[in-house]
Amino acid sequence: MVAAAMRARYDQLGKQMIRELLEGRCSVETDAEVPADTRRIDVWVTPHEMGASPPEHLGLLGRITSGAVTLELFHNTPNGDELAACLIKHGEFRHFLSRRKTLPPLPIQWVISSGRPDAGIEGLVFRPMPGGLRGIYESPPLQYTRLVVVSELPVARDTLLVRLLGAGSTLRQALAELQALSAEALERRLVLPVLLRLRLTVPTDPAQQTSDDQEFLMDTQDIVENWRREAVQEGLQQGLERERKLLLRLLRRRFGAEVDGETECRVAAASAEQVEVWAERVLSAATLAELLAD
């Protein structure tokens, strides 16, 4: 029971992350029902504009989702039977969709596995995808399935978002790369809130944590703490900018045309403490020079 809950927790991370990353350019449905046996597709993606060039920051994930696809996520590497079950479920899902009165785009299935499912690759005759990246395989044509072995993907920014769906050392490497990105990087701004939400679902009692829970908490501790500090700092900076603008309005009202470009530059570069001192002098200072004295 604990193992099943743990698998659901970490595959839920992937579902949430993909939903956040693709929101706005695709219709994204998680846990799409397969009516035959009330089974569910992890993620069903239909772009609003089929074949449109994906945003650059999505990299490999954007190319995977440039057409109608379903995604099956395996934080733990599936065995042969589990991979075969994905192919059966996908066939049933395509059949179900094909019977709709208005035929939607029939999706290709992408199975994203943290490690290499050797038994499934051999037994289901997956082969490296011609012209594709290392770590990407395709099934025989009528199975409409492709496989990503996350641990085999090349280490590059282009594959970063998909490698964040990995496990162990692959995930740690991807998290380190995410942390190294600038605070303005879209990948970082989109993924960090998802990581924080997942951390909140991990039991606080160590006795109830799995080894994957403990590893995830350790691997994400620094990146989440840094993100929190950056968020606080950004809030403080925004507050300081508002105070500077208010001070300038008060100065212009009091001293009019004396408030020139040089004064604006001084206010723009002033610390929070200096802005506070100057604001206190607005009513008492006889001249602008007196007010702005250090």
**pTM, whole model, 2 decimals?**
0.72
Sort 96 into a burial class: Cβ within 10 Å, 0-12 / 13-18 / 19+. Answer: middle
Which pLDDT score, from 0 to 100, does residue 1 have? 44
Which pLDDT score, from 0 to 100, does residue 173 have? 94
Q: Could you give the CA distance from residue 245 to residue 260 in angstroms, rounded to a whole number?
A: 14
* Residue 186 resides in a domain: no
Residues 86 and 208 grouped into a single domain: no
Give the domain-ending residue among 132, 151, 181: 181
Which pLDDT score, from 0 to 100, does residue 200 have? 77
* Residue 168 resides in a domain: yes
Residues 247 and 103 grouped into a single domain: no
Residues 147 and 269 grouped into a single domain: no
Q: Could you give the CA distance from residue 30 to residue 7 in angstroms, rounded to a whole number?
A: 16
* Residue 105 resides in a domain: yes
Residues 251 and 173 grouped into a single domain: no
**Count of positions (residues) in the chain:** 294
Give me the residue label for tokens 């908490």: 217
Residues 21 and 60 grouped into a single domain: yes
Residues 169 and 26 grouped into a single domain: yes
CA distances from 146 to 5, 20, 71 (A): 26, 23, 10
* Residue 196 resides in a domain: no
* Residue 7 resides in a domain: yes
Residues 109 and 217 grouped into a single domain: no
Give the domain-ending residue among 152, 181, 210: 181
The structural domain count of the chain equals: 2
Residues 95 and 213 grouped into a single domain: no
Which pLDDT score, from 0 to 100, does residue 270 have? 84
Provide the domain limits for residue 208.
Answer: 202-294
Residues 53 and 170 grouped into a single domain: yes
Which pLDDT score, from 0 to 100, does residue 40 have? 86
* Residue 163 resides in a domain: yes
* Residue 187 resides in a domain: no
Q: Could you give the CA distance from residue 86 to residue 89 in angstroms, rounded to a whole number?
A: 5
Give the domain-ending residue among 181, 211, 228: 181
Name every residue whose Cβ is closer than 8 Å to that of residue 278 and which is 6 or more positions away in sequence.
Answer: 247, 267, 270, 291, 292
Residues 215 and 123 grouped into a single domain: no
Per-residue pLDDT of the chain (294 residues; tens, 9 = 90+): 444 444 567 788 888 889 889 988 888 888 877 765 567 899 999 998 887 889 999 999 999 999 999 999 999 999 999 999 999 999 999 999 999 889 999 999 999 999 999 999 999 999 999 988 999 999 999 999 999 999 999 999 999 999 999 999 999 999 999 989 988 899 988 898 888 888 878 888 888 988 888 888 888 888 777 777 776 676 677 777 888 888 888 888 888 888 888 888 888 888 888 888 888 887 778 888 888 887
Which pLDDT score, from 0 to 100, does residue 183 have? 80
Residues 88 and 213 grouped into a single domain: no
Give me the residue label for tokens 């009330």: 38
Residues 136 and 281 grouped into a single domain: no
* Residue 192 resides in a domain: no
